[in-house]
Amino acid sequence: MAALQQVRLPEHGYLWIACARAQFEALQAQLQATLQALTGTQLLDLHVADLLNQQLPSRYDFTSQYDLLVFRRLEAGGKEAASVPAGQALAYLPARGGPPILRRIDTSPVGFVVLDRVLLTIHPTDFTVRDAYAARLLAAGGSMAPAASSISPDSRSAGARGVPSDPADMMLRIVNQMVDSYLDLRRDLTHQLDHWQIELLSPKARFNNWSALLRARLSLHHLDEICEDQRSAVQDWIESLKAWPEADTPLNQREHELLLVRSRDVLEHIERVVHHVRRLEQNAEATVQMHFNAQSHRTNEIMRTLTVLTAIFLPLNLIAGIFGMNFDFIPLLHQSNGFWLAMVAMGLTTVLLVVFFWRKRYLERSAR
What are the φ and ψ backbone dihedral angles of 126, each rounded to 5 degrees?
Answer: -100, 45
Mean pLDDT, rounded, for 203-212: 67
Q: Which of these ranges, 6-15, 115-124, 147-156, has the smallest mean pLDDT?
A: 147-156
Mean pLDDT, rounded, for 350-356: 85
What residues contact 28, with CB distance under 8 A and at least 6 apart? 48
Whole-number percent of the chain with pLDDT over 90: 15
Mean pLDDT, rounded, for 293-301: 80
Report pLDDT for 77.
60
How far is residue 295's CA from residue 283's CA, in Å, rounded to a whole number? 18
How far is residue 197's CA from residue 281's CA, in Å, rounded to a whole number? 12
Task: pLDDT band for 70, please (50, 70, 90 cuts).
Answer: very high
How far is residue 238's CA from residue 308's CA, in Å, rounded to a whole number? 68
Report pLDDT for 104.
65
Helical spans, DSSP H, in the chain: 2-6, 21-26, 28-39, 45-52, 100-104, 128-141, 167-183, 186-201, 210-242, 250-323, 338-359
| DSSP line for 148-187 | GGG-PBP---STT-SB-SSHHHHHHHHHHHHHHHHHTTHH
* Opening angle at CA 276, ends 184 and 218, nearest 5: 100
Check: CB of residue 50 under 8 Å from CB of residue 70.
Answer: yes
Mean pLDDT, rounded, for 268-287: 83
Report pLDDT for 87.
32
Mean pLDDT, rounded, for 92-102: 51
Report pLDDT for 150.
42
Mean pLDDT, rounded, for 279-287: 80
Q: What is the pLDDT of residues 219-237, one digit of tens each?
A: 778 888 888 898 999 999 9
pLDDT at 285 over 70: yes
Spell 327-339 as b/e; 16+ CB within 10 A means b: eeeeeeeeeeeee
Whole-number percent of the chain with pLDDT over 70: 80
Q: Which of these ranges, 114-123, 183-192, 222-231, has the smallest mean pLDDT?
A: 183-192
Burial of 349 (0-12, 13-18, 19+ CB in 10 A): middle
Most confident of 99-108, 224-233, 278-287: 224-233
- In this predicted model, which residue has the larger pLDDT, 122 or 190? 122
Report pLDDT for 149.
40
Q: What is the pLDDT of residues 141-151, one digit of tens each?
A: 654 444 434 44
